[in-house]
Structure 1
C-alpha cells in the first residue's frame, strides 16, 4: 500500500500523467537553479519506496535516503520543484540544506587533566587491554589503518557525497578518534577510553566541509546501529538554534534525527563551537538532548594555572579564548594544544572545542562500560556530577556559569 500511494503522489506532482523524459526536463528548467533540500515525510510513508519517484518526477537529483533516525531524504531541486513537492500530502516539511564544518581552530595534556589515568576502567598502564565500548566518530572519517586506533572497519560509513570511502583525508576525525580511544600500548598517545571500538562515520569531506543532509545521513546510520553503538561524537556544527524539544522540533530535521538516535539509546557528545559566542546560536550545540562541551586552556595537565603556553597563546587553566559559552553548555574539557592521532599513522597537536568534545565522549564511554543500561540523560548527569570546579574562573567565560570540568577518576 505504501508503494502504491507513493507512486500516485509522485505522479500527482506532474499533473497526474506518467512521467516521460521530456516532462522531467521541463520540470528541471522551470524553477531555475538546483538547490539542496532535506525532505521529511509523514509517518506511514516509506521513504525508500517513494524518494526516487518524487524527486525524479520533478527533475531533481536524489541524495541520501533516511530510514532510521529520520523518515525522508535529501535532494537537489529547483525552487518551483520544492514548492510543488511541499504541497504533496506525503511531505511533512522541507528544509533547506545548510553547510557545516569542523570546529577545530588551530594546530593534548587532556588525559591527565581529566584524570583518565586514575580511572580503573581506563586502566592506563601501557598494556593494551581495551575498553569494551563502541563509539561513532561523525566527522571527516578516520584513518582506517592507524596502528594506534581500534577502528571497526566493518562499521565504517561514508556519507560525504564527494568522497569514495570513510577513510580520513583531512585529519580532524582521526584526531578526535585518538582522544576518545587511542590504544594503551606504550606507543604514540593514549585515549580517554583506550581501545574503544571506533566507528568511522564520514560526513565532512577532506576539506572539512559538508552539509546538514550529510550529517543526518551519519546520524541515521548511528541510529540504525544503536544496538551496538553506545556513544557518538560530533565535533562539528553550523548556525542554527534549538526552537523546540523532541516532541516538537519545529521543522529542524537534524534535531529530529538526533532525538530519534538518543531515544534509541545513543549518547551524543558535541562541540560547543569556536566563535567565542553563545552556543544557543549553533547546532547541534544548542540541542538539549546532547552533551555540549566547551574548551579549557590547559598547558600542563594540572590545575592551578601558571604554565606557559605551548602551541598557541592563551592563559593556562582558564576558559579558552575562542570557546563558545552559554546555558546550553553542559561540561568543559581540555581543548587547547591537544596531541592525538593524525593521518598516515602519525600524530598532531591542534586546538578547538572539537578537541574538548571527544574527551567527554571518552568519559561517556568509560561510564557506559560499567553502566550499559544507562540512558543518555543518565550519562550526562553522571558526567556532570563527577565534574569539578577546579579551574580558574571567571575568565573569558561570559555567561556567569562555571561549567563542571570533566573528571573520570572514579569511572
Structure 2
C-alpha cells in the first residue's frame, strides 16, 4: 500500500488536539498542512436533514465572512467543514460556541510499500459464496475503496460507474493515477472470469473513493470527505477499506475527548452500518500509535508473509525476502490488531490494465474487506460488530508464531471456508 507516513503503505495522521489559543502557540508538527484546518460543529439540536443542512450552511457562511476558503463540507459522517484560513481566524472559530473543535489538517499517504496466494491462504476459493470456479458469477455486495481511486476500465474489475467520489480533486472522476487503489480493489473483488487474478469476493461492486493524490499522499480533510461520502450511501455500501494511516491514538471516546474528527466520522459511519477494514501499518511497531488502525470500531489487519498459499512454512521467498508462514517483518502489531491476512508478494490488478505484485498491510486489509463482503452478501443487515465477530470466530491459528510478531498475542488468520 502507499503510505501516509512511513507505514510502508499508508500512513495517515488524524488525531489532533483542539485548536485553542494555547494549542495554537505550540510548535507545529511536520505533518500539518500550513493554513488548513478542519472545523467540527457541535451536534445540532435539529434532528432532521433540513436542520443539519441549515446549521452547516450557516457555519460555512460565517467562515467565509471571516476570510476562510472552504474546500470540503461535511454533512453525513460529521457536521463541519475543512478550510484554508489564518491561525487568527482558526482561533476565532475555536471560541465560537457552535464549534466543537478546530484541528490542523494533516498529510496522509497510502500504506503499500514492501512491494494471489492470499486468496488461497484465506481459503476464499473454498467459500460457497465466492464460488470461485472460473465462471463470472458476482458476489452481491458493495465495497468502497477509500484510496487513490480505481482504474474504471480495468477488464478484471466491476467498478460501480454511477458511484464514487474524488475528494482529492473534485472536478475529476475518481480514476487511479497511482495504482495503489486499483491493486487493493483487485484483491477485494477481481472477477472470477478465468483470466488474470480472482479476488476474495469476486465481482463485488467497487466504489472508488479517491482521497489520495497520484503520489499516494493526501490530507485528513480529504479522508473525512471520503468517509462522509460513504456514510451518505450507507444504504448501499456495506464495507469500506482504508489501506492508509497516520500517527495518532484512540481516546476511547470516538475522538470526542481528543477532538479527532476522523474518528468521529468513522464512528458515525459504523453506526450507520458500514464495516471498515484498515491496514495496521508497516513500521513494525505497535498499531496503537497509528490511526485509523488504533480505532476500536474498525477491523485492523496485520500482514502474514506467505509465498505458496499453504501453511507449513515451506514456501520460498519470491518478490522479497521474508520467512514463509510468519508475521511479516514490516507489519505493525499489538492489541488493536483484530486479524492477520496475507500481505507479502500479493498479485493483483494494476493501474495499467494488467497485473502487478505488492507487499504491505495495505495488501492484507483488502482480503478482510472481501471476507466482510462475503458475509454481508449472505447476512443482509448484519452490524459491523457482528461482521468482525464472525470473521474472528472463523479465523485460524494455523500459522508459525511468534517469529517476528512484536507482541504476545497470536492473531487469528483470515479463513473464509464457511462464508
Aligned to 1:96: 104
Q: Which has the higher contact order (CA 8 A, sep 6+)?
A: 2
Asked if the contact 2:116/2:198 (under 8 Å) is kept, the reply is no
Q: Give the C-alpha shift of residue 34 in structure 1.
A: 5.5
Secondary structure (helix, strand or coil) at the match of 1:155 reads coil
Q: Give the C-alpha shift of residue 51 in structure 1.
A: 4.0
**Matches of residues 211-250 of structure 1 in structure 2 within 5 Å?**
211-246=219-254, 248-250=256-258
Aligned to 1:206: 214
Secondary structure (helix, strand or coil) at the match of 2:352 reads helix
Q: Does 1:376 align with 2:384?
A: yes
**Matches of residues 350-361 of structure 1 in structure 2 within 5 Å?**
350-361=358-369
**Matches of residues 130-149 of structure 1 in structure 2 within 5 Å?**
130-149=138-157
Task: Specify every segment of 5 or more residues in structure 1 that has no aligned partner in the other structure, as ranges.
Answer: 1-32
Structure 2 Cα separation of the partners of residues 254 and 47 of structure 1 = 20
Secondary structure (helix, strand or coil) at the match of 1:95 reads strand
Greater shift after overlay, 348-357 or 160-169? Answer: 160-169
Q: Give the C-alpha shift of residue 58 in structure 1.
A: 2.0
- Say if 1:193 and 1:34 are closer, same or farther in 2 by CA, change over 3 A: closer
Structure 2 Cα separation of the partners of residues 245 and 143 of structure 1 = 37
Task: Specify every segment of 5 or more residues in structure 2 that has no aligned partner in the other structure, as ranges.
Answer: 1-32, 45-51
Aligned to 2:336: 328
Asked if the contact 1:245/1:288 (under 8 Å) is kept, the reply is no
1:110 to 118, 130, 141: 118
Structure 1 Cα separation of the partners of residues 343 and 318 of structure 2 = 13
Q: Does 1:167 align with 2:175?
A: yes
Structure 1 Cα separation of the partners of residues 66 and 332 of structure 2 = 41
Asked if the contact 1:47/1:66 (under 8 Å) is kept, the reply is no
Aligned to 2:36: 36
Structure 2 Cα separation of the partners of residues 130 and 151 of structure 1 = 12
CA RMSD after TM alignment: 1.4
Q: Could you tell me the TM-score, scaled by structure 2's length? A: 0.88
Greater shift after overlay, 243-252 or 110-119? Answer: 243-252
Q: Deviations over 1:286-320 (max 9, x none)?
A: 00000000000000000000211000010000000
Secondary structure (helix, strand or coil) at the match of 2:113 reads strand
Asked if the contact 1:47/1:67 (under 8 Å) is kept, the reply is no
Asked if the contact 1:51/1:62 (under 8 Å) is kept, the reply is no
Q: Does 1:278 align with 2:286?
A: yes
Structure 1 Cα separation of the partners of residues 393 and 87 of structure 2 = 49
Asked if the contact 1:132/1:197 (under 8 Å) is kept, the reply is yes
Aligned to 1:60: 68
Structure 2 Cα separation of the partners of residues 375 and 347 of structure 1 = 34
Secondary structure (helix, strand or coil) at the match of 1:153 reads coil
Q: Could you tell me the TM-score, scaled by structure 1's length? A: 0.90
Q: Give the C-alpha shift of residue 248 in structure 1.
A: 3.9
**Matches of residues 277-296 of structure 1 in structure 2 within 5 Å?**
277-296=285-304
Secondary structure (helix, strand or coil) at the match of 1:62 reads strand
2:58 to 38, 46, 50: 50
Asked if the contact 1:135/1:230 (under 8 Å) is kept, the reply is yes
Q: Give the C-alpha shift of residue 164 in structure 1.
A: 2.3
Secondary structure (helix, strand or coil) at the match of 2:162 reads helix
Q: How many residues align?
A: 379
Greater Rg over alpha carbons, structure: 1
Structure 2 Cα separation of the partners of residues 407 and 141 of structure 1 = 28
Q: Give the C-alpha shift of residue 108 in structure 1.
A: 3.3
Structure 2 Cα separation of the partners of residues 281 and 162 of structure 1 = 31
